[in-house]
């Protein structure tokens, strides 16, 4: 059997051996912050743009319906708040039990 360290290219070797280690270390560092990261991404990017796109489809050139675009942010915030409650509920229960 060949020694992978001696045979493989350095770039491929780093990806194959280093990437899983890096990912596991990032997940450990984000342990409690992962929920917060998900909520922030939902709030700033994942929900706002699709909701705006969806509402702009209802406007479709009719400016009398342009007020719908203004609802993008509140709707995205409500969805994010619901997701935040679902994600943070287990962490809250765990914290309350330890006190």
Dump pLDDT digits (tens) for 43-93: 888 889 899 888 888 888 787 878 888 999 999 999 999 998 998 888 778
Determine phi and psi for 45, rounding to 5 degrees.
-135, -50
Binning pLDDT at 50, 70 and 90, where does residue 1 land?
low
Tokens of 71: 């609802």
Contacts of 95 by beta carbon, 8 Å cutoff, 6+ apart: none
Under DSSP, the state recorded for 16 is: I
Statement: the pTM of the whole predicted model exceeds 0.85: no
Q: Are 35 and 91 in contact (CB under 8 A)?
A: yes
What is the structure's pLDDT at 82?
93
Closest by CA position to 32, among listed 99, 90, 97, 79: 90
What is the structure's pLDDT at 25?
82
């Amino acid at each position: 059997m060949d020694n992978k360290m001696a045979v493989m290219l350095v770039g491929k070797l780093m990806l194959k051996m280093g990437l899983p280690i890096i990912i596991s270390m990032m997940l450990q560092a984000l342990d409690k912050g992962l929920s917060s990261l998900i909520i922030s991404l939902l709030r700033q990017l994942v929900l706002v743009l699709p909701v705006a796109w969806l509402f702009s489809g209802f406007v479709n050139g009719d400016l009398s319906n342009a007020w719908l675009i203004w609802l993008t942010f509140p709707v995205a915030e409500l969805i994010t708040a619901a997701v935040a409650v679902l994600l943070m509920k287990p962490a809250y229960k765990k914290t309350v039990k330890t006190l």
